[in-house]
């Protein structure tokens, strides 16, 4: 009867394997988070909402689909609706607004404030 030595996994082997699996899991999570998170984090409004513009300023709000904008707010002009933070229309509406007559106008820059005199 010939006895062959039984091969057992050593603690070192198990640690190395555990580290490889952990590294693979972390890599997969790291690659998934930016893809999944981007569209949600960067959206101007959440699902089921649309953005509206404060008349005469660059202020904004989000309104549930199917509801009218609140008093003092209007819908963005068709084709000029910001959808994601930093997109073309988001940047545009940082310096433009709609006046009380519905005309798109440039928002005047605020006058520099003087420092208090002592």
pLDDT tens for the chain, 118 residues long, are 556 555 555 555 555 555 555 555 555 555 544 544 444 559 999 999 999 999 999 999 999 999 999 999 999 999 999 999 999 999 999 999 999 999 999 998 764 545 455 5
How far out from the chain centre does Cα 23 lie?
A: 28
Dig out the tokens for 47 from the structure: 């699902």
Dig out the tokens for 65 from the structure: 């689909």
- How far apart, in whole angstroms, are the C-alpha atoms of residue 82 and residue 90? 5
Predicted confidence at residue 108, as pLDDT, reads 83
Predicted confidence at residue 16, as pLDDT, reads 58
Predicted confidence at residue 33, as pLDDT, reads 46
Dig out the tokens for 92 from the structure: 């545009």
- How far apart, in whole angstroms, are the C-alpha atoms of residue 61 and residue 67? 13
Predicted confidence at residue 109, as pLDDT, reads 78
Q: 27 φ, ψ to 5°?
A: -65, -45
Interior angle at CA 52, CA 54 and CA 55, nearest 5: 20
pTM for the predicted model, two decimal places:
0.59
How far out from the chain centre does Cα 54 lie?
A: 21
Domain ranges across the chain: 49-106
């Amino acid at each position: 009867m010939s006895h062959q030595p039984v091969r057992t996994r050593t603690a070192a082997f198990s640690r190395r394997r555990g580290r490889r699996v952990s590294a693979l899991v972390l890599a997969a999570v790291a690659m998934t988070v930016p893809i999944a998170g981007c569209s949600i984090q960067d959206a101007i409004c959440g699902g089921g909402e649309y953005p509206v513009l404060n008349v005469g300023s660059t202020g904004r709000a989000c309104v549930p689909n199917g509801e009218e904008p609140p008093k003092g707010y209007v819908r963005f002009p068709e084709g000029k609706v910001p959808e994601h933070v930093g997109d073309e229309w988001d940047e545009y509406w940082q310096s433009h607004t709609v006046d009380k007559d519905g005309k798109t106008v440039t928002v005047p820059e605020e006058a520099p404030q003087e420092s208090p005199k002592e």
